[in-house]
Amino acid sequence: MDFDPARLAIMALALAAGAIVKGATGMGLPLVALPVLTTVFGLQHAVGIMAITQVLTNCMQIWQFRSEARSEGLGFLPWFLVAAGAGVVLGTWLLSSLPERALIISLGLLLLGYFLFKITRPHLTVGPELARRAGPFAGFGSGVLQGATGISAPIGVTFIHAMGLERRTHVYAVSAMFLTLGLVQLPALVISGIMQAQWVLEALLAMIPILIFMPVGQALAKRLSRRAFDLMILIFLGLMGLKMVLGL
């Protein structure tokens, strides 16, 4: 496909913006960059590229924040991740025939409801015991959504955010979720015949602006207070919900 310099610049800016959000919050790269890549490559091609970058970027963040693996607040995580992986497989098979637009609107309303709830009752959180009990259900729901729509954040990130974890622990948990989902979804794209060899090279080229700008987001996040970081995540979830409801 023939690209003009302006289109390449827009793609690079979208990847850079997504990388800054990803570096700061542990999420947001596909949500920011995927719509732009889709207009250039088409949906399947864009999803294939982003699936590779998802695995690579979350491997990086898991390694960077590996000291958080033994954090007391992450007792829920092992079964959460196991259930998430199962949900991807089952969601792809069970929910592929559901009306996509209706599902996305429902997820957007869920996010907006959580946003309003946290704004009005900011001090309510999910405690460690409830997180361990509810974790497998939240993980499974995240995986089902990932398999059916390619979107897992409305349940997974919302659940993790509701626990009120410290920034580093939050980023580790979110990265572990996205990495697990990516490691299940990427082979599925290969087995189904969707993934093409040339997309691997394109994903590696996409990593150039990502590698440059993810540290920028991480540096910005370090300057934020706990309250400011929590508010930034909440605003991001609210905007994502609004985007899904309006179909932007």
**pLDDT for the residue numbered 99:** 67
pLDDT tens digits along 104-159: 677 678 778 777 877 877 666 777 788 888 899 999 988 887 777 666 777 888 88
d(CA 131, CA 78): 12
What span, in angstroms and rounded, lies between the C-alpha atoms of 240 and 220?
A: 21
Q: Cα–Cα distance between 48 and 195 in angstroms, integer?
A: 6
Q: For helices 167-191 and 226-246, give the axis angle rounded to 10 degrees.
A: 40
pLDDT digit string, tens, across residues 55-66: 999 999 999 899
Q: Where are the alpha helices (DSSP H) in the chain?
A: 5-25, 29-41, 43-64, 77-94, 100-120, 128-149, 153-161, 167-191, 197-222, 226-246
According to the model, what pLDDT value does residue 137 have?
A: 93
Half-sphere exposure (Cβ direction) of 99: Cα atoms closer than 13 Å: 4
Overall pTM surpassing 0.85 (yes/no): no
One-letter amino acid for residue 46 of the chain: A
